[in-house]
Structure 1
Amino acid sequence: MNQPSSQSSSQSSLLLALHSSSETLGVGVQAPGAEPRIASFPLGRQLSNDLLPCVEELLPAEHWPQLGRLVVATGPGGFTGTRLTVVLARTLAQQLSIPLHGFSSFLLMARRHWAMQPWPPHQRLWLQQPLPRRGVVAGAYSPDPQALGGVAEALEPRLYRSGEAWPGDGSGDEPCLEAVVEPQADVRQLLELGQLADAAGLPGPWEPVLPLYPTSPVER
């Protein structure tokens, strides 16, 4: 039987979302026209052992061929946790020949903030995560009607070292909020973006979807 093309997904296909940019794994599954099923698992360092069993709690492996599209959070997050879910998503997308889309965990947070309290057009919102003895990881987000879901990543999250100036550090007039993962809410954002990508018929090649590491895993 022919597998679905990576250029489109079947109307009866399932959408799977994976998010492990924090100590808690978030998993979501949604069928067309149905309410999503979302679960979170506080795995911490057990993610490497328990990732597949947790995914199978929502979608047993025998149903994976029914997947039509995948979405995954690419970080920033822990080196091992982010890498494992991105690798799983890439492997499934390649083997099933289905689209895969990666979105930064900060973008998902920005979408949550926008939904609760939209900020003025053309203004950037900064999200920041302090890293002890290293600096702060920060990214900027702005409303954009041309972007998928209406919020664009103006500046991808990167490390600003201690003492390095950046527009959201309080010295300017651009607002800045702490980057806090809410696993189930952020998985819902992933599913919404996946639905929009499916409706737009976006191809979603798996090769460009890679983990986002603002700092080196071997850096001291």
Structure 2
Amino acid sequence: MSAVSPPWLLALHSSSEVLGLGLAPLEPAPGTSSRISSHPLGRRLSNDLLACVEQLLPAPQWRQLGRLAVATGPGGFTGTRVTVVFARTVAQQLGLPLDGFSSFLLMAHRLRQRAEVGDQPFWLLQELPRRGIVAGCYAVDEWALGGIAEREAPRLYAQLADLPAGVRLEARVDPEADVDQLLRLSGLAAAAGAAAPWASVLPLYPTSPVGQPLGQA
């Protein structure tokens, strides 16, 4: 990438088989714009993550980063962990703030932005074969970052009948669109001066007892 002007915001999303990456200026500057890319890596994520990031921003230019953002899941155990650990490591080594947002929250913002949901609270659901259903509840809230609040964090339910009543939608990752939301929310957090310590950003796994919040590890 040529003519890189700091500071930049780097976003990473690997809650599906497709790695999504985004790079955007933290402050408006002439000739700068955001870039988003997607990479269908699947199980190659561990080997190819660094190369994909360097396609967007070469390692010698990482010191021009001003903030990082990462999707924390729910997602695949290995994929989510690899990207969160990578983001935490870079943030720690460079002394950068790191925002973590659940992949379901990013979907909720995308659905609202596209007018695919109304003002009523809604549930996002993902079925895990032989394990249950991961679900989280979201609602319009003018006081929440970006205008959407996570009323119920994603958790594991034994069956659909265990969920409270309400609008229910399938949770589907849209890698590039959800990375765009990740950039947007992290940018809003930065503009608001929100603290974002890297140590508090942990991946979400649907491994806790049924009916309990997802574990963080």
Q: TM-score normalized by structure 1?
A: 0.87
Aligned to 1:103: 101
For the pair 1:207 / 2:205, whether they are aligned, the reply is no
Aligned to 1:81: 79
Paired residue type of 2:76? G
Aligned to 2:59: 61
Paired residue type of 1:119? G
Does the 8 Å contact 1:133/1:162 carry over to 2? no
Q: Distance in 1 between matches of 2:39 and 2:189?
A: 26
Say which SS state the counterpart of residue 207 (structure 1) adopts: helix
Map 1:128-147; keep pairs closer than 5 Å: 128-147=125-144
Q: Is there any run of 5+ residues in structure 2 with no aligned partner, and where?
A: 209-217
Aligned to 1:40: 38
Map 1:117-156; keep pairs closer than 5 Å: 117=115, 118-120=117-119, 123-156=120-153
Q: Is there any run of 5+ residues in structure 1 with no aligned partner, and where?
A: 1-10
Q: List, as ranges, runs of 4+ consecutive aligned residues in structure 1 with deviation greater than 4 Å.
A: none
Q: Distance in 2 between matches of 1:143 and 1:194?
A: 18
Aligned to 1:196: 188
For the pair 1:184 / 2:183, whether they are aligned, the reply is no
Size of the aligned set, in residue pairs, is 199
Say which SS state the counterpart of residue 75 (structure 1) adopts: coil
Aligned to 1:5: none
Paired residue type of 1:128? L
Q: Deviations over 1:122-149 (max 9, x none)?
A: x311000011111110000011111111
Percent of residue pairs identical: 62
Say which SS state the counterpart of residue 36 (structure 2) adopts: strand
Aligned to 1:16: 10
Q: Which has the higher contact order (CA 8 A, sep 6+)?
A: 1
Does the 8 Å contact 1:72/1:89 carry over to 2? yes
Say which SS state the counterpart of residue 21 (structure 1) adopts: coil
Does the 8 Å contact 2:68/2:99 carry over to 1? yes
Q: Distance in 2 between matches of 1:83 and 1:149?
A: 26
Q: Deviations over 1:75-102 (max 9, x none)?
A: 0000000001100111111111111000
Q: Deviations over 1:154-179 (max 9, x none)?
A: 11111101365111xxxx3x111100
Does the 8 Å contact 2:6/2:65 carry over to 1? no
Q: Distance in 2 between matches of 1:202 and 1:96?
A: 18
Does the 8 Å contact 2:133/2:160 carry over to 1? no
Say which SS state the counterpart of residue 189 (structure 2) adopts: helix
Say which SS state the counterpart of residue 162 (structure 2) adopts: coil
